[in-house]
Amino acid sequence: MSDVSSLDWDEELPEACPPEDAWDPDGRVFFRLVVDSPPTDHDFWSHRRIWPDRKFNTSECRARSVSVYERVGDCSKLLKLPMHKDKFVARVELPSGSGLVKQTGEYSHHSWWRTAEFDVLGHCELLEAA
């Protein structure tokens, strides 16, 4: 893992965030639900950035991460829920330097803490609807 103290994060993170067991994705591909077609930077904001005053049922560190999935099928399942029915699935390649990830949820859910300099829009593409 990189020395996290030397990384410039996309938003201010609390102390000890990302957690010590977060790792460099090193070119791995993940998937994310997005609102916009084509995706915009806003599609890759944390819940904390979107809703700065909301109380979340998770740690502040996780509230400042971006949810991504290892398996496209897990995003496809989410599209069946009313709150996600009008969204799209984006494929996102996360090279070294894009931040750190950690599996934090069921199935293939990971939290991604994004670095400020990473151009996510240059590393993502929408998938065709099934």
Question: For 59-108, how does the pLDDT look when each residue is reduced to its tens digit (9 = 90+)?
Answer: 999 999 999 999 999 988 888 888 888 899 999 999 999 999 999 987 89
Beta bridge pairs of residue 102: 111
What distance in Å separates the CA atoms of residue 44 and residue 68, rounded to the nearest whole number? 10
Q: pLDDT at position 106, please?
A: 77
Q: What is the pLDDT of residues 16-37, one digit of tens each?
A: 999 999 999 999 999 999 998 8
The domain spans of the chain are 39-130
Q: pLDDT at position 105, please?
A: 80
Beta carbons of 33 and 88 less than 8 angstroms apart: yes
CB atoms closer than 10 angstroms to residue 14: 11
Instruction: Supply the pTM of this predicted model.
Output: 0.89
- pLDDT higher than threshold 70 for residue 1: no
